[in-house]
Amino acid sequence: MARHHQRRQLARYLPVLPAILLLAVFLAGPVLWAFQASLTNAGLTGRHARNPEWVGLENYQRLLQDPVFPLSLALTVLFVGGSAVLGQNVLGLALAVLLRRARPAVSAVVGTAVVAAWVLPEIVAAFAAYAFFSRDGTLNQLLGGMGLAEVDWLYAVPMLAVIMANVWRGTAFSMLVYRAALGGVPAELTEAAHMDGAGAWQRLVFITLPVIRGSIATNLMLVTLQTLAVFTLIWVMTAGGPANGSSTLPVMAYQEAFKFGDIGYGTAVASVLILIGAVFGAAYLRLLREQKP
Amino acid sequence: MLRRVSATVSLLAAAALALAGCTPADPAGGKTIKVAYQKTDSFTALDTMFQDAKKEFEAAHQGVTVELQPIQANDDDYGTKLALALRSPATAPDVFYEDTFKVRSDVDAGYLLNLDSRLAAWKDWDKFDAGAKEAGKADDGGTYAVPLGTDTRAIWYNKKVFEAAGIALPWRPATWQDILDTARKIKASNPTVIPFNMYAGKGTGEGTVMQGFYELLYGTGAGLYDQDAKKWVVGSAGFKDSLTFLQTLYQENLAVPPADALDPNVWKKVFGDWFPKAQLGATVEGSYTPSFWQKGGSYEWPAYAQDMGVAPFPTRNGGAPGAVSMSGGWTLAVGAETKQPDLAFTFLTTALNAKNSLQFTVASSQIAVRTDVAADPGYQSANPFVKDVSSLVSVTRYRPATSDYPRISAAVQEATEAVITGKRTPEQAAADYDTAVAGIVGGDKTVRK
């Protein structure tokens, strides 16, 4: 009986087997390959292209001595913190809360405008952002029209420009998640709090946010991981410049691996990026698990 | 239960079969030659050449199919894509378009087929310019690539801007000081135009060094690489002087503002906006410049033939040979692992025969590498500047195309960026460069000069 039960349990996993295989081949495979390559001196061309040699942790040692690496790491944290955790997440929540109370027409117009940026393919959004922030771009023309000083956004404050661009592009996702979550907050709860004399701000902080805590954690995890991997937007807008002023880890990995043809070193940077993503992912998963009884 | 299991298994088997079906099989015993090359909106001349060569070749070789694989990308991305394809024999093309400065490192990687014996049997090979042939040679002395065309660099200037500033034409600066004097004169007569721009910083990439810094550096008598000792030169006075010249240009606002210089798209403004609208006095650019302006180019400007002038870039104090130019250029190569080396080489010779070479050279404003093409009236009258830029071949230089070169080039670009943005003095930036070079190639591969 017990054995029969066990076999049945195993058979239940059969339908997911193809999915697991696909994940193993297309997700775990490249990750393992990247890690293995980061322990070699593989190159895009030159002597080590065909016959890479095992160099152990040399690439990682080099990484620790590379003056660009700490800068890149700090910029990545700034980018993720500024554009995902603060920007997209908070703005998305604010929009979702406000749009519930707005008139249907306003809600539709604002909602469409926000989602439009999300619908654009990444490369198109990146070019749009470049055209907006560049020296003769829309933003400077608007500022000039209002008699304000023009700023070389992509040159003087490259990180601010790419963070704003990423907030613009990604807020729709958080907004949609929170709109769905807010729809699930029981009306009785908020009403009861209202009767007890709680103001709008108190209702948000003490009722709504705790109820949608699960959605917040899920959303944070998704936008953090998405933002960690953002490459096209930054590459098109600033290409990591000026003077590495916006070269986050994905940009650094790309430059090392493909511009300088040093695949071993580039994959070492990528492996560090994967590690950071894994740490964030584990932290959020823990947060998700805790709130379930 | 069992039925469900067997259904899953058969589904998997079907998927495996479908995947196996994706592997390309040889079409009914016929042979295929895969050709990889670059194609962009503004660069279709090569595509035209290969289309013609395909027709010619397939007519002459029944049963052989030429599969053209144009890669839509800029120079850098094309190089990356090609290198990735070459990594695996399954994706490596049989014939491909190869940048001259990648030839050596790709030979080191074992990607290119040695063509010596086949070239010896090709009667047209004698018609290729001896200097250009060097570009296809590797460290072992063998030839691995056949040149397609080359280019030179010179100063392109707008005659209208110069006339308005009262500068005598034709202009030909003899020293760096002449350039500065002229630029200051233009600035004084019309502060709204950019008098003399030179690319700098990492934004313009290879353009910064090929159309800018190297013209300065080689004009001081210093160099980048000691070919005989196979060592990289550090600590040269010429390096510092070249940076100082750039500093002067940018500090006195004779060039564009640093923010514009670091924009990777600044060259589009040079060709598309500033020159046609007479907002730029002069800049250092390649011999291919007319291809942007002639009919069918990205920035058609029929008046360029009258409005523009060209002058060689001078050495620092006018010392011999009086002018400096840099050359790059592209080649065609055969993949080392090709299954049909003879057919692939024959296709290469078809693509580079006199007729196809002439058409390509004219359409892309290249400098001819075949003597019969160079002598053709169609080539000589392709645009008004062919003669001027072709004559620079006698003074031109090539980049030291070792595997380390891309990183060294990036270090040079960084030095120029630090200077034009005012973050470092020329002395500091030169010292940073020396440290960077020692870090890249190792201290024992550098030499102080």
Q: Which of B104, B152, B121, B42 has its CA nearest to residue B395?
A: B152
For B12, nearest residue in chain A (alpha carbons): A18
Determine the Cα–Cα distance for residues B207 and A193; give it in Å rounded to an integer.
66
Model pLDDT, residue B23: 45
Question: Looking at the partner chain, which of B8, B418, B421 has a beta carbon nearest the beta carbon of A14?
Answer: B8
When the pLDDT of each residue in chain A is averaged and rounded to a whole number, the result is: 89
- Tell whether B19 lies on the interface with A, counting CB pairs under 8 A: no
* A10 and chain B in contact, CB less than 8 A: no
Flag if A43 and B403 touch (Cβ within 8 Å). yes
Contact A243 B417 (CB under 8 A): yes
- Could you tell me the two tokens for B344? 């692939």
Distances in whole angstroms, Cα of residue B20 to Cα of each of B17, B23, B91, B322: 5, 6, 16, 63
- To test the contact with chain B by mutation, choose from A6, A10, A45 the residue with the greatest count of B C-beta atoms within 10 A, namely A45
Mutation for testing the A interface, residue in B9, B108, B421, B428 having most A CBs under 10 Å: B108
B4 close to A (CB below 8 A): yes
pLDDT per position as a tens digit, B108-128:
889 999 999 999 999 999 999
Helix and strand element counts for chain B (H, E): 22, 14
Cα–Cα distance for residue pair B201/B410, rounded to 1 Å: 9
C-alpha span between B263 and A179 (Å, rounded): 40
Burial of B52 (0-12, 13-18, 19+ CB in 10 A): middle
Beta strands in B11-165, from DSSP E residues, in sequence order:
31-38, 64-71, 95-99, 145-149, 153-158
pLDDT of residue B26: 46
Q: Residue B191 CA to chain centroid, in angstroms?
A: 33
| Domain spans of chain B, in order of start | 2-151+328-398, 153-326+404-448
Question: What residues of chain A, 252 to 291, have a C-beta less than 8 Å from chain B?
Answer: 258-261
**pLDDT tens figures, A87-115:** 999 999 999 999 988 888 998 999 898 98
Q: Does A47 touch chain B if contact means CB atoms closer than 8 Å?
A: yes
pLDDT at B27: 45
CATH topology of domain B2-151+328-398: D-Maltodextrin-Binding Protein; domain 2 (3.40.190)
**pTM score, whole prediction:** 0.79
CA-wise closest residue to B245 among B308, B175, B161:
B175
Whether the link from the prior residue into B147 is cis, omega within 30° of 0, is: no
Residues in chain B, total:
449
Confidence of residue A1 (pLDDT cuts 50, 70, 90): low
Judged by a CB distance cut-off of 8 A, whether residue B176 touches chain A is no
How many contacts does A have with B, using Cβ atoms within 8 A? 89
Identify the residue with better confidence: B245 or A194: B245
What is the helix (H) or strand (E) element at residue B93, kind and residue range? none
Per-residue pLDDT at B33: 93
Give B160's strand partners: none
| Chain B CB contacts of A243 below 8 Å | 202, 414, 417-418, 421, 423
Q: Mind listing the pLDDT tens digit for each residue in B374-415?
A: 999 999 888 899 999 998 988 888 888 787 888 899 899 999
Q: What are the backbone dihedrals phi and psi of residue B155, each rounded to the nearest 5 degrees, phi first?
A: -90, 125
Which pLDDT does position B146 carry in this prediction? 95
Cα separation, A236 vs A230, in Å, equals 11
Query: B354-363 vs B45-60: helix axis angle to the nearest 10?
Result: 170
**Interchain CB contact of B20 with A (< 8 Å):** no
Cβ–Cβ of A261/B105 closer than 8 Å? yes
Question: Which runs of E-coded beta strand occur in B12-110?
Answer: 31-38, 64-71, 95-99
C-alpha B394: how far from its chain's center? 18
Q: B236 — phi, psi (to 5°)?
A: -80, 150
Backbone angles phi, psi at A103, to 5 degrees: -65, 150
Query: By the CB < 8 Å criterion, does A137 face chain B?
Result: no
Distance CA B37, CA B46 (A): 8
Cis amide linkage into residue A242, ω under 30° from 0: yes
Is residue A206 predicted with pLDDT exceeding 80? Answer: yes
d(CA B372, CA B376): 6
| Nearest CA among B206, B241, B143, B246 for reference residue B399 | B206
pLDDT at B25: 44
Give the chain A residue whose CA is nearest to the CA of B7. A15
Nearest CA in chain A to B260: A135
| pLDDT > 70? residue B15 | no
Which own/partner contact pairs does B161-168 have at CB distance under 8 Å and 24+ positions apart?
Answer: B161/B186, B161/B190, B161/B193, B161/B278, B161/B280, B161/B281, B161/B282, B162/B186, B162/B281, B162/B282, B162/B309, B164/B189, B164/B190, B165/B189, B165/B190, B165/B281
Across residues B41-46, what is the average pLDDT? 83
* Adjacency order of strands within the sheet including B330-334: B64-71, B31-38, B95-99, B330-334, B145-149
Q: Are A15 and B8 inside 8 Å of each other by CB?
A: yes
In B252-385, which residue ranges form alpha helices assigned H by DSSP?
Answer: 258-261, 266-269, 290-293, 304-307, 341-351, 354-363, 371-374, 377-380
Task: Say how far apart CA A269 and CA A229 lie, in whole Å.
Answer: 12
- Closest to B155 (Cα-Cα) out of B308, B322, B304, B285: B285
Q: B193 or A7, which is more confident?
A: B193
CATH superfamily of B153-326+404-448: Periplasmic binding protein-like II (3.40.190.10)
Structure confidence at residue A213 as a pLDDT band (50, 70, 90): confident
Report CA-CA distances (Å) from B106 to B76, B86, B132, B367, B377: 15, 9, 18, 24, 36
Residues of B whose CB is below 8 A from A11 = 1, 4-5
For residue A2, the model assigns a pLDDT of: 64
Q: Is pLDDT at A248 greater than 60 in this prediction?
A: yes
Instruction: Measure in Å the smallest separation between the Cα of A13 and chain B Cα atoms.
Output: 11
Provide φ and ψ at B326, rounded to 5°. Answer: -120, 150
Euclidean distance between CA atoms A90 and A32, whole angstroms: 35
Would you call B128 helix, strand, or coil by DSSP? strand
Q: What are phi and psi of B282, to 5 degrees?
A: -155, 160
Least confident of A2-11, A242-251, B424-433: A2-11
Q: What is the CA radius of gyration of chain B?
A: 25
* pLDDT over threshold 50, residue B20: no
Does A260 contact B410 at a Cβ distance shorter than 8 Å? Answer: yes
Cα separation, B77 vs B38, in Å, equals 10
B2-151+328-398 and B153-326+404-448 have identical folds: yes
Cα–Cα distance, B350 to B328 (Å, whole number): 23
DSSP annotation of B24? P
Give the whole-angstrom CA distance, residue A69 versus residue A286: 29
